[in-house]
Amino acid sequence: MQLKHFLQFNDFSREEYEYLFERSRWIKQTFKQYRQYWPLVDRTLAMIFDKSSTRTRLSFEAGMNQLGGTSIYLPTRDTQLGRGEPVEDAARVISRMVDIIMIRTYEHDILQRFAENSRVPVINGLTDEYHPCQIMGDIFTFIEHRGAIAGKTVAWIGDVNNMCNTWLQAAEVFDFKVHVSAPPGYEIVSERIGLSGTNNYEMFSSPHEAVKNADLVTTDVWISMGFEAETEKRKTDFADFCVDTEMMALAKRNALFMHCLPAHRGEEVATEVIDGPQSVVWDEAENRLHTQKALMEYLLLGKIKKA
């Protein structure tokens, strides 16, 4: 089987996602019915974390366990990587001992260099630039609630960060629109985030304009991990970018609200919105588990033939 990594959303085609979503539905149903499905017995996942995590660690660790395999949690500070071992050397060693690796780190370049030196599949568990596992779970969630995302409009309000960049890649893969509204100084640099220039996004200075007629409104923290030094400046810059009920009212009547979590109520989102009827944030979090199980199955076993 050809070695495949999952480093950015556009590493996979729309057909591959359609396959992964079909598998995710089956895996989810099997799990909900307490039926055992152990295709990854004797397989080991290494999870390298340079940053904190609740959902990513849990969903990968529980997911691997539920598929019959095991996982090893490696916070960077407890490994030789934390003491300066070159990432290339670490990749060569770790990938001789395990079957699949997930990494959460800072610059995307670190992940890229790791993957180039790995003998086994590498998954991006979040970098400063991208969060593809989250968007895979989010699109699966959208489809569960509203059907196909192609042709729909997603409003992204707030920081042009790893989540926003990944939504922009996903828009090209699935052919939907993203309305992005961010304060001046937080512009999209499309060449830097691997967009092919299909014009699937539009910038709006007013968040209220951006959400008009949106099928999905989504946002994320103003201060991502690694940007803590900019806290005060960012709180000022983003003050008008809180998704509140007034903003949600401008979107389509049946618009969904998403947030990858963790959230800061009263900053990027109002309590009434994240805890309100349009919010599907808990489904998003749960679906990380099911979609990543399908992802690991695909990277390790390839396409499963239907019985």
d(CA 73, CA 276): 35
Q: Which does 54 bind (CB under 5 to 8 A by kind): ligand CP, ligand NVA, none?
A: ligand CP
Q: Which does 304 bind (CB under 5 to 8 A by kind): ligand CP, ligand NVA, none?
A: none
Tokens 């239907």, residue located: 306
The catalytic residue positions are 104, 131, 134, 220, 260, 288
Structure tokens at 85: 């071992």
Does residue 260 touch ligand CP according to CB under 6 A? Answer: yes
Question: Which long-range contacts (C-beta less than 8 Å, at least 24 apart) are formed by 271-279?
Answer: 272/244, 272/245, 273/243, 273/244, 273/245, 273/248, 276/245, 276/248, 278/248
Ligand-binding annotation for 208, yes or no, is no
Q: Which of residues 93-132 bind ligand NVA (CB under 6 A)?
A: 126
The CA distances from residue 8 to 3, 64, 96, 206, in Å, are 15, 21, 23, 29
In terms of CB distance, is 61 or 175 closer to ligand CP? 61
CB atoms within 10 A of CB 6: 24
Paired residues of 154 in beta bridges: 178, 216
Does residue 290 touch ligand CP according to CB under 6 A? Answer: no
Q: Of the listed pieces 49-57, 115-123, 232-240, 271-279, which binds ligand CP according to CB under 6 A?
A: 49-57
In terms of CB distance, is 18 or 286 closer to ligand CP? 286
Does residue 54 touch ligand CP according to CB under 6 A? Answer: yes
Does residue 53 touch ligand CP according to CB under 6 A? Answer: yes
Note whether 39 and 67 are within 8 A (CB).
yes
d(CA 243, CA 267): 8
Does residue 261 touch ligand CP according to CB under 6 A? Answer: yes
Near ligand CP by CB under 6 A: residue from 71, 105, 134, 200: 134
In terms of CB distance, is 8 or 224 closer to ligand NVA? 224
Ligand-binding annotation for 261, yes or no, is yes
d(CA 28, CA 283): 12
Q: Which does 220 bind (CB under 5 to 8 A by kind): ligand NVA, ligand CP, none?
A: ligand NVA
Near ligand NVA by CB under 6 A: residue from 173, 210, 221, 299: 221
Note whether 133 and 56 are within 8 A (CB).
yes
Query: Known binding site for L-ornithine: residues?
Result: 162, 220, 224-225
The residues of the shown chain that bind ligand NVA, judged by CB under 6 A, are 126, 161-163, 220-221, 224-225, 260
